[in-house]
Amino acid sequence: MFSSFRLSMAWLHTWFGLVIGFVLIVVFFFGTLSVFDREIDRWALPETRFDPQPMPSFDQVLLPALRKIEPDEADYAANMPALHDLAKGPMTPRQELPADEYWAYTTHRDPVLRLGVGFGVPNAKDPDGHNHIHGEATIDPRTGAAVRADQLKIGSEWFYPMHYSLHLDWKSVGIFIVGLAALVMLAALVSGVVMHRKIFREFFTFRPGKHTQRSALDLHNLTGVVALPFHFFFAFTGLVIFAAFYYLPVSQFQLKPLHDRHEVMEAAATGLPHKASGIPASLASVDAMVLEAKRRWAARDMAGEVGFLQVHHVGDADNFVSIYRAGSDRIALVGEGIHFKASTGEVLREDPPRSVVSEINEFLTGLHLQHFEHWFLRWLYVLGGLLGCVCIATGFVFFVEKRKATHAKTGGQGSRVVDALAVTAVSGMVAAAIGMLAVNRMLPADLAGKGDWEKMAFWGVWMLALLHAFWRSAPVVQARMNPAWREQCWAIAALAVTAVGLNWITTGDHLLKTMFTAPYWAVAGVDLSLLVSAAIAAWAAVRLARRGQLGPRLQTVQDATPVATEAAHV
């Protein structure tokens, strides 16, 4: 089919990269935003703009708040009929479900604290399964007061899930699409290296003064080479993280009975009760257990705060408490769990030293999820993510530029369609994210269902960008530039400046305040990032306007490198 192995790799790189690139750019962009998801939350929820707090008293603050949480109505309606065995009796009303587990979670970047309750399902079809209807809440750890449940944490509850699930939650289809995209990306990276024999030279080659096709290819190669280890690492570790939960045969998703049986065997091996005994028992002071856990961590020369706390089999004689250390002082995602008998406070188990395989897995997981406190490394992640976005975006541009002259001669519409989709996937996606932040500040703080309106605004702006990109794409058929690129850059600049201005007007937190008089860098960082985005978008719009004045270029490029020539031949 191909005259050489390199040409076959060029074909694979081109078409796999194009098809899956529309998913990958979403993953990279929202993954980049997720590096500072908690800071975006602070910007979106002004009432949470205070200093991060350690885990508060369980006995005095968390337990009263946990007892107020009710089962989620949507979770009850969707899952209760499937979990309950009607042959054993009628379904238990939602508000009468008994609490079976409690949990609380915080990080060094979270002023607020997340709580959750797993409510047991009486008369369940599978008594040995994970039969829970869930309820969650977010509280102010200083007072225990609940943060409104209908307010959306845009960073951690929208941008972050977008990068691994695309918010396609039915049957977890989005997670599988992203997993396939990551696998294809690994193949695209390998094929890209095979294609480019002069990869070292391309590290130093960028000719912005050349025509669009040449400049786009230079920038595509440059960003691909500079961030190659970063791209490979994140694609690989993303697959590793989800493998055990979704992708491998023995997982909670694919072979649930075998997975549940493994949980039973694991509980027997650790000595921690898998099922409740049915005998009522009281709960001893969890605060005393926390103090003992901290003492044991300190004795092992790893003093720290609690990051995650879970109470299993609430109110039962086999009730036990698991306390995990916040691992923000290290890269590896480890918890150093200590487990207590809940009725007495007796230590049941300390997690043993990890195997070499576990150490590697936790290190790779920690590198991907970046729960650490290393701020410089976080910004390197942002840089790597943005380089990935530029690499994919310039790949789109190069694909269109290389073909639109030929399509213009033959009357083909392929370049027009790909270009419009590229505009939507690049500038339209950025406009949707920034537009969501602007709408967040426009809507009244006490608006019921505010989070739902913000989600609709996100999809609405993105859909408008799609329609606009296709509407303005007619010049591509004549081998000219789509003006939608330039116009959506101006829209991004306007939305970003608007978001910063609205934050000032609605909260009083302008940059002089958040940087100098009352420093709060989570909010200042988001405002500064929006202004930098506005400046880059405006600069890009001006440059695109100049390029658009050059007119169509219908002849074949003569100054392409040998690598590009072979790719064009394919």
DSSP 463-506: HHHHHHHHHT-HHHHTT---HHHHHHHHHHHHHHHHHHHHHHHH
Which three-class secondary structure state does DSSP give residue 213?
Answer: helix
Same domain, 174 and 85: no
Same domain, 299 and 436: no
Let me know how long the chain is.
Answer: 570
Same domain, 58 and 37: no
State how far the Cα of 395 lies from the Cα of 216, in Å rounded to an integer: 7
411 found inside a domain? yes
Strands of 146-147's sheet, edge to edge?
A: 146-147, 132-139, 113-120, 99-105, 306-312, 320-325, 338-341, 347-350
For 210, counting Cβ atoms within 10 Å of its Cβ (0-12 exposed, 13-18 middle, 19+ buried), the class is middle
Tens digit of pLDDT at every position of the chain (570 positions): 566 777 777 777 788 888 899 999 999 999 999 999 999 999 999 999 999 999 999 999 999 999 999 999 999 999 999 999 999 999 999 999 999 999 999 999 999 999 999 999 999 988 777 789 999 999 999 999 999 888 999 999 999 999 999 999 998 899 999 999 999 999 888 887 777 666 666 655 666 667 778 788 788 888 888 888 899 999 999 998 888 778 876 666 666 677 677 777 777 778 898 888 999 999 999 999 999 999 999 999 999 999 999 999 999 999 999 999 998 888 888 889 999 999 999 999 999 888 898 888 899 999 999 888 889 999 999 999 999 999 999 999 999 999 888 888 888 888 999 999 999 999 999 999 999 999 999 999 999 999 999 999 999 999 999 999 999 999 999 889 999 999 999 999 999 999 999 999 999 999 999 999 999 999 999 999 999 999 999 999 999 998 877 654 434 433 344 334 333 433
State how far the Cα of 113 lies from the Cα of 146, in Å rounded to an integer: 10
Helix, strand and coil in the chain, % to nearest 5: 60, 10, 30
Distances (CA, A) of 91 to 98, 118, 133, 134, 392: 13, 17, 13, 16, 51
Same domain, 400 and 480: yes
- What does the longest C-alpha to C-alpha distance in the chain come to? 83
What is the pLDDT, as a whole number, of residue 271?
83
Q: Is the dihedral of CA 543, 549, 553, 559 positive or negative?
A: negative
Report how far apart the first and last C-alpha atoms of the chain are (Å, whole number). 11
Domain that holds residue 56: 50-150+282-342
Tally the domains of the chain: 2
pTM: 0.91
What is the pLDDT, as a whole number, of residue 2?
61
C-alpha neighbours within 13 Å on the C-beta side of residue 6: 14
CA 528 to chain centre: 21
Tokens 């508000």 correspond to 95
Same domain, 111 and 177: no
Q: Could you tell me the two tokens for 171?
A: 């049957």
481 found inside a domain? yes
Same domain, 300 and 439: no
Same domain, 187 and 320: no
What is the pLDDT, as a whole number, of residue 254?
62
191 found inside a domain? yes
362 found inside a domain? no
Same domain, 85 and 186: no
Q: Under a CB-based contact definition with an 8 Å cutoff, are residues 138 and 147 in contact?
A: yes
One-letter identity of residue 456 = M
249 found inside a domain? no
Helices 5-34 and 173-195 pack at an angle, to 10 degrees, of 130
Same domain, 532 and 394: yes
Give the containing element (helix H, strand E) for 105. Answer: strand 99-105
DSSP summary character for residue 97: P
Same domain, 287 and 418: no
Same domain, 62 and 119: yes
φ and ψ at residue 205, rounded to 5 degrees:
-110, 120
Same domain, 409 and 490: yes
Last residue of a domain, one of 342, 360, 389: 342
347 found inside a domain? no
324 found inside a domain? yes
Residues whose CB falls within 8 Å of the CB of residue 218, separated by 6 or more in sequence, listed in order = 202, 205, 206, 207, 208, 210
317 found inside a domain? yes
